[in-house]
C-alpha cells in the first residue's frame, strides 16, 4: 500500500462517522424537515464549525466548510442550497412566512383604503366607494342598454368606461339607441426648442340619439388652451430672430 493510499484510507476512516450519522435536516425554502445524511458531493457545503473574520467587511465572519461534506437536496423542493440544520431551517422559513403574511395584510389594507374612497363623477353622479364605481362601469359595458341618462352625461364616467375597456384613443360604442363617440381636442404644441411635445389632449364626447337624430356634445368645455410659448406665438414672430 502506497503512502498516498494509506493517507486516503486514514481520511476515509476519519470521515466515516460524519457521513454515517443520521441527521435532522430542513429546508429554508419550503419548510420541510427530514432525516438524511451528509454526502460526498453536492453544492451546499457543510460548515466545519470554524470561523474566520472577513478580510474587508468589518464584523463579518466567513463560515469555513468541510471540503467534501455536503448537504443532500431537499426531498420536497429538490433545492440543495436551502438545506441546513432542521431547527434553523424551520426558524428561517417561519420568519419569512410571517413577513410575507404581514406584507399581504398591508397590501390588502392599502387596497381596501383605495376602494373605500368615494368617486365623484359630477352632474349628481356619485359613488360611495371606488369599487362600486368600477363595478358599475363593468355592468354598463356588459349591458350598454342599461346606461342611465346621468351616466351618459358624465364626461368622467364615459372617459373611464372607455379607458378600462378599450384603452386610450378615439372610440365609439352604442349605448341603447345612443351612439357615443369619444374624441379629443388636440392641445399639444412644440416646446420652444422644438425638441419635445407639450400640452395635452382633452377627451370629449359626441352623443347621437339615433332615434331622433339629435346630437349633443359634452366635455369639450373642460378644455383649457395651454399657455402660448415663443414658438407658437405670432406676436413674437413664431420665436424667429428679428
Residues in contact with Zn ion by CB under 5 A are 27, 29-30, 32, 74, 76-77
What CA–CA distance (Å, rounded) separates 172 from 159?
Answer: 11
Q: Own/partner pairs for 140-145, CB < 8 Å, 24+ apart? A: 140/175, 141/165, 144/173, 144/174, 144/175, 144/176, 145/175, 145/176
Q: How far is the CB of 181 from Zn ion (least distance, A)?
A: 58
User: Looking at beta carbons only, is 81 or 198 nearer to Zn ion?
Assistant: 81
Q: How far is the CB of 25 from Zn ion (least distance, A)?
A: 10
Residue 68 C-beta: closest distance to Zn ion, Å: 23
Minimum Å distance from CB 29 to Zn ion? Answer: 5
Cα 111 from Cα 122, distance rounded (Å): 24
Cβ proximity to Zn ion: between 32 and 202 the closer is: 32
CB 60 within 8 A of CB 53: yes
> Which CB, 90 or 218, lies closer to Zn ion?
90
- Residue whose C-alpha is closest to residue 125's, from 221, 218, 200: 218
CB closer to Zn ion, 76 vs 139: 76
Residue nearer to Zn ion on the CB measure, 77 or 185: 77
Return the number of the residue (27 or 158) whose C-beta is nearest Zn ion: 27
Cα-Cα end-to-end distance for the chain: 103
CB of 79 to Zn ion, least distance (A): 5
Least Å from the CB of residue 178 to Zn ion: 59
Torsion of CA 208, 211, 214, 218, to 10 degrees: -30
Q: Determine contact, residues 84/26, Cβ cutoff 8 Å.
A: yes
Amino acid at each position: 500500500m502506497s503512502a498516498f493510499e494509506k493517507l486516503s484510507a486514514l481520511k476515509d476512516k476519519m470521515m466515516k462517522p460524519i457521513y454515517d450519522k443520521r441527521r435532522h435536516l430542513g429546508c429554508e425554502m419550503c419548510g420541510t424537515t427530514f432525516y438524511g445524511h451528509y454526502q460526498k458531493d453536492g453544492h451546499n457545503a457543510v460548515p466545519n464549525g470554524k470561523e474566520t473574520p472577513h478580510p474587508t467587511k468589518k464584523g463579518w465572519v466567513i463560515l469555513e466548510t468541510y471540503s467534501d461534506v455536503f448537504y443532500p437536496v431537499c426531498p420536497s423542493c429538490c433545492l440543495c442550497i436551502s438545506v441546513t440544520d432542521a431547527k434553523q431551517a424551520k426558524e428561517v422559513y417561519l420568519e419569512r412566512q410571517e413577513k410575507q403574511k404581514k406584507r399581504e395584510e398591508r397590501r390588502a389594507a392599502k387596497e381596501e383604503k383605495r376602494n373605500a374612497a368615494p368617486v365623484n363623477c359630477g352632474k349628481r353622479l356619485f359613488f360611495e366607494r371606488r369599487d362600486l364605481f368600477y363595478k358599475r362601469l363593468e355592468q354598463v359595458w356588459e349591458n350598454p342598454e342599461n346606461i342611465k341618462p346621468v351616466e351618459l352625461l358624465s364626461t368622467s364616467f364615459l372617459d373611464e368606461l372607455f379607458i378600462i375597456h378599450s384603452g386610450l384613443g378615439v372610440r365609439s360604442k352604442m349605448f341603447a339607441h345612443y351612439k357615443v363617440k369619444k374624441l379629443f381636442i388636440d392641445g399639444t404644441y412644440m416646446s420652444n426648442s422644438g425638441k419635445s411635445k407639450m400640452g395635452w389632449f382633452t377627451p370629449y364626447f359626441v352623443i347621437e340619439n339615433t332615434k331622433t337624430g339629435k346630437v349633443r356634445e359634452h366635455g369639450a368645455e373642460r378644455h383649457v388652451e395651454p399657455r402660448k410659448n415663443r414658438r407658437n406665438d405670432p406676436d413674437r414672430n413664431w420665436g424667429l430672430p428679428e
